[in-house]
Amino acid sequence: MSDVVLDRVAKHYGATVAVESMSLRIGSGELVALLGPSGCGKTTTLRMVGGFVPLSSGLITVGGRDVSALPPSRRNMGFVFQNYALFPHMTVAQNVAFGLEMRKLGRAEIETRVTGALERVRLGAFRDRYPRQLSGGQQQRVALARALVVEPDVLLLDEPLSNLDASLRQEMKIEIRQLQQALGLTTIFVTHDQDEAMSTADRMVLMHRGRVEQAGPPAEVYSRPRSAFAAGFLGVANLVPGRMTRMDTGSDTGRGDGFVTRAGPVLRLRGHRSIQGDCVLALRGEEVTLRTGQPAGDENALSGRVALATFHGVAIEYHVETEAGLRLVARVPAPGVGGPEVMAHGAEVLACWAPDAGVLVAET
Amino acid sequence: MPSSPPPAARLRGSGPVLPAVLFVLAGMIAPLALMLRTSFDRFDPETLIVSALTLDNYLRFFETPFFREVLGRTIAISALSTAICLILGLPVAYYLARFPTGAAKSRLLMLILVPLLIGNAVRTSAWMLILNDHGVLAAGLARLGISGPLGLMYSASGVMIALVSVLLPFMIITLNSVFEGIETTLEEAAGSLGASHLTTMRRVVLPLTLPGVLAGCVLCFTLSMNAYATPVLIGGPKFHMMAPTVYQQITEAMNWPFGSALAFVLMGMTLGLTVGLTLAVQRRYRRWMA
Amino acid sequence: MIRFTYAAIATIVIGFIVLPLVLIVWMSFFSNPILSFPPEGYTLDWYRRAWSMSDFRGGFFTSLQISLCATVLALVLGIPASMALVRGSFPGRDTITTLLMAPMLVPAIVGGSALFVFYLEVELLSGVQVAGRLAGLIIAHGLIALPWVVKLVTTALTGMNQSVEEAAASLGAPARVVFLRITVPMIWPGVVAGGLFAFVNSFIDLEKSLFLVGPGRTTLQIALINYLEWNFDPTIGAVATAQITFVTLLLLVTSRYVKLHRAF
């Protein structure tokens, strides 16, 4: 079985650090998504695993075997490139056969495996076409078949869906996940799209400035971001900055500057981890309710006016400008799906959220 | 049926090309046409040209062993120096194309481009001082204990050496732009599928550079078929290639009809061989080319 | 290891191209009476001598004159033609582009001899002498220069994002202002590079001029070749060094406007 271990792997280009001492273990058969904004080091990391970028320091092992110094041709990894990198002068079948020829397999064996691989990606009828005669999605599947047919120890995918249009991306996402699970392949998937990462990965590794910001199962990372960056990148709409001067775990309240709610500079909290000093309350738009009367129960509340409303089909997003000059986003079900009536621009509202809503993270 | 626009409208905006077109027609096409016509005329030592319609000049060319030899030598030297340029040029062009972009790369490219535009007269004279029997090469070899005349001046080998050096920049620049157009991910893909560097070059990169290889070869072959300075200066008066022979016939022998025929044989051979090569190569890559 | 192999080959091959030029520059300072090795001493006399020789000094100025005229001619003919070829919509544009580029493809020795025979026949018919005169050389060099102008200006025009012009027009600029304030500045690098390439290629031409020079009207390249037939002293080195310096400077200027290797 082939688990991949990155042990304090780093990459420097002169004085610039692309990847800073990264340690990560990808279990056998696991799909790990490396997620982050461009320039975060995710592609460099993948290319180091693939053997295209030499390591500045650290170690990469596959199934316990050190591959750090091996050229790509001797790592037995399947790499799917962002632009697919299909050989334009070879037919689909020749592209897929290339890796098998390099492994000096017999003609009959190559033929059987190429046919099998093309069937698996439903391209059997296209075997004699040239890459330029295929659509983007078909090229993508050829690239996948070419990488898989050599029975690699590890599958590496570099932004494989970024060149496809939205509907095809959805389809390919599912196809890649199913293939990967069926073959039980250890897989690293690089993407800048959190939806892609969440819907395909067993584990998500969020990277920022060459470091791992947060790693874990998608559901956990999504609901419990550990930093303001993670919260922002994962699409948390509200990052309310403040300063925690006292956190009262007995009564579950926090006292501080910045969190000026209707109850004064007090934040009602329940079930949050203890934190001191500069911090951010990361609140999803869905967690904020807009009310016209009184806050319900022990909700936190800020009063303000509707500054902007945008329609998103099933939901409406209201941007509320609070009296303290803060802008809060509330995502409310649209009237068509049982939500409240649309609020007018300038309407006075209370933006409310429950004490257990959101995540408190330290300011970075 | 859609009515076609009136001729005046169809030619809208074509006015500004006319002076340039006329200039090329008068300065190149007309002279070439006249020269073709002249090549069918007869030569007369008194009146120079006698109007005729005869193939005598061409027949004389192909019937005279001397001229046949000159053509054969020109083709052989051109083919050989083109092949050497290709072999030497490929690794250099690839190296330059994969060199990280920056000031160092610009300087390297300048080292190729400046010689290309220094002119054949200067570049050939530079080779004269290396190849002659009292030159740099002889002095260098003498220091190593190898003495005696080199015999490179006034020899085919000397002409070849200088020709290859003069033509290499053309080959390198042409090939370089093709290599630049080949995505490095293709090489990485071949590598990750298990191909060694040499296999990647042979199976993936070189087939894709074929159009560029062809363009570079056509350019070098044409330039070398028509080379003048190198055979005259390095080859000397007894070393005959086509271009100097055309010059002699037209300006010294004043035999314009025969000189014209020579010029057309030269152009025809150059064109014929390069077109033949082009067709042969195109057959191989047209299937996957757009 | 692979990188090292490539670097080693590149060094040798580039040396093979560049070293002769380095040597001729070096040897132009030798005091040896003929170009030979090793140096007996160093002197600047050969430069003085080259300048004092009317063949070289006159050749330089003749070349300068011809190349400047040819460049101006090529720019005057080539810029409007390029504009029309890229922007116009008339049939046969590809054919016309090929025709305008053709002088670059026809071997200089053939083009030159054809022009020579043409001039002489014109002279026989009309009594107007063109061969051996400046006008004849300027026409020949105009043909060398024109394709470079057309090539670089059309490239600049095609590479230009035309929506920029549309943006200017939609902001209220009349056509003339769009042309002068938007189009001209954007294709200017192509025009300058086209002119410089035209000039250099005309200046270094040997084969096409060969047939057309007359007594007392020799270009620098022909003067060099003629001198080399009977002499082999460091005067050649001095002239070559001057030309190498001149061309290098022009190319350094050109490289500020375009990527030089893209011009080929």
Q: What is the mean pLDDT of each run of 10 residues along chain B (290 residues)?
A: 47 80 94 94 82 89 94 96 97 95 89 92 90 81 78 88 95 94 94 94 92 92 94 91 93 90 94 89 70
Domain annotation covers residue B185: yes
pLDDT over 70 (residue A359): yes
Q: Tell me which chain C residues have a C-beta less than 8 angstroms from the C-beta of B119.
A: 203-206, 221, 243, 247
Q: Give me B139's structure tokens.
A: 């002095």
Q: What is the pLDDT of residues A335-358, one digit of tens each?
A: 888 888 888 888 899 999 998 888
Same fold yes or no, A4-223 and A236-362: no
For the domain with range C54-263, which CATH number is right: 1.10.10.10, 3.50.50.60, 2.60.40.10, 1.10.3720.10? 1.10.3720.10
Candidates B4, B21, B24, B144: best to mutate against C (most CBs of C within 10 A) is B24
Candidates A76, A77, A102, A133: best to mutate against B (most CBs of B within 10 A) is A102
Q: Is the dihedral of CA A101, A107, A113, A119 positive or negative?
A: positive
Phi and psi at residue C132, to the nearest 5°: 80, -5
CATH number (domain holding residue B84): 1.10.3720.10
Q: Tell me which chain C residues have a C-beta less than 8 angstroms from the C-beta of B168.
A: 13, 16-17
> Partners for A (CB, 8 Å, 3+ pairs)?
B
Say if residue A131 is preceded by a cis peptide, omega within 30 of 0.
Answer: no
Say if residue C38 is preceded by a cis peptide, omega within 30 of 0.
Answer: yes
State residue C179's pLDDT score: 87
Give the neighbor-by-neighbor strand order of the sheet with A315-322: A289-291, A348-353, A300-311, A315-322, A327-333
Mean pLDDT across A293-312: 88
* Whether B66 contacts B249, CB under 8 Å: no
| Predicted structure pTM score | 0.87
Q: A236-362 has which CATH code?
A: 2.40.50.100
Q: Tell me which chain C residues have a C-beta less than 8 angstroms from the C-beta of B169.
A: 17
Given the structure tokens 């018919």, which residue do they identify?
C125
* Whether B131 contacts B152, CB under 8 Å: yes
ipTM over 0.95: no
User: Which residue range(s) make up the domain with B170?
Assistant: 55-289
Chain A, 134 to 153: residues with Cβ < 8 Å from chain B are 146-147, 150
CA distance C97 to C84: 11
Q: Measure B262 CA to nearest chain C CA, in Å.
A: 9
Whether residue A245 lies within 8 A of chain B, CB to CB, comes out as no
Q: Tell me which chain B residues have a C-beta less than 8 angstroms from the C-beta of A148.
A: none
Whether residue B213 lies within 8 A of chain A, CB to CB, comes out as no
CA distance C222 to A242: 83
At position C103, the amino acid (one-letter code) is P
Residues pairing with B50 in the sheet: B42
> Is the domain A4-223 a CATH 3.20.20.70 member?
no
pLDDT over 80 (residue A253): no
pLDDT over 70 (residue A64): yes
Say whether B111 and C17 touch across the interface (CB within 8 A): yes
Q: Tell me which chain C residues have a C-beta less than 8 angstroms from the C-beta of B24.
A: 99-100, 102-103, 143, 146
Q: Where are the domains of chain A?
A: 4-223, 236-362
Of the candidates B278, B263, B279, B277, the one whose C-alpha atom is nearest the C-alpha of residue B74 is B263
* Whether C113 contacts B250, CB under 8 Å: yes
> Partners for B (CB, 8 Å, 3+ pairs)?
A, C
Mean pLDDT across A208-232: 91
Rg (CA), chain A: 25
> pLDDT tens, position by position, for chain C (264 residues)?
888 999 999 999 999 999 999 999 998 888 887 777 778 888 888 899 989 988 899 999 999 999 999 999 999 999 999 999 998 888 888 899 999 999 988 999 999 999 998 998 888 888 888 777 888 999 999 999 999 999 999 999 998 888 888 888 888 888 888 888 888 898 999 999 999 999 999 999 999 998 888 777 889 999 999 888 888 888 888 999 999 999 999 999 888 888 887 777
Residue C186: burial class (beta carbons within 10 Å; 0-12, 13-18, 19+)? middle
Mean pLDDT across A274-287: 87
Q: Tell me which chain A residues have a C-beta less than 8 angstroms from the C-beta of B207.
A: 89
State residue B1's pLDDT score: 38
At position C142, the amino acid (one-letter code) is G
Domain annotation covers residue B71: yes
Whether residue A14 lies within 8 A of chain B, CB to CB, comes out as no
Residues pairing with A361 in the sheet: A280
Whether residue C116 lies within 8 A of chain B, CB to CB, comes out as yes
Q: What is the pLDDT of residues A14-51, one digit of tens each?
A: 889 999 999 999 999 999 999 999 989 999 999 999 99
Candidates C14, C212, C257: best to mutate against B (most CBs of B within 10 A) is C14
Shortest CB distance from C102 goes to which of B24, B91, B232?
Answer: B24
Shortest CB distance from A73 goes to which of B191, B207, B287?
Answer: B191
Q: Tell me which chain B residues have a C-beta less than 8 angstroms from the C-beta of A81.
A: 185, 188-189
Whether residue C1 lies within 8 A of chain B, CB to CB, comes out as no
The pLDDT confidence band at residue A170, using thresholds 50, 70 and 90, is confident
* Whether A261 contacts A300, CB under 8 Å: yes
Candidates B182, B183, B193, B284: best to mutate against A (most CBs of A within 10 A) is B193
Phi and psi at residue B183, to the nearest 5°: -65, 135
Cβ count near C37 (within 10 Å): 21
Q: Measure B211 CA to nearest chain C CA, in Å.
A: 15
Chain C, 151 to 190: residues with Cβ < 8 Å from chain B are none
Chain A nearest-CA residue for B284: A89
Number of domains in chain B: 1
Q: Tell me which chain B residues have a C-beta less than 8 angstroms from the C-beta of A98.
A: 190, 193, 195, 203
Chain C nearest-CA residue for B198: C2
Whether residue B3 lies within 8 A of chain A, CB to CB, comes out as no
Whether residue C9 lies within 8 A of chain B, CB to CB, comes out as yes
In chain A, alpha helices (H): 42-50, 92-102, 107-120, 136-148, 166-183, 194-200, 218-223, 228-233
CA distance A235 to A229: 10
Whether residue B114 lies within 8 A of chain C, CB to CB, comes out as yes
At position A127, the amino acid (one-letter code) is R
Shortest CB distance from B194 goes to which of A52, A82, A99?
Answer: A99
Domain annotation covers residue B28: no
State residue B3's pLDDT score: 47
CA distance B286 to A76: 33
* Whether C102 contacts C176, CB under 8 Å: no
Cα separation values, A136 from A69, A83, A142, A172, Å: 34, 10, 10, 11
Say whether B195 and A75 touch across the interface (CB within 8 A): no
Whether residue A233 lies within 8 A of chain B, CB to CB, comes out as no
Residues pairing with A34 in the sheet: A190, A205
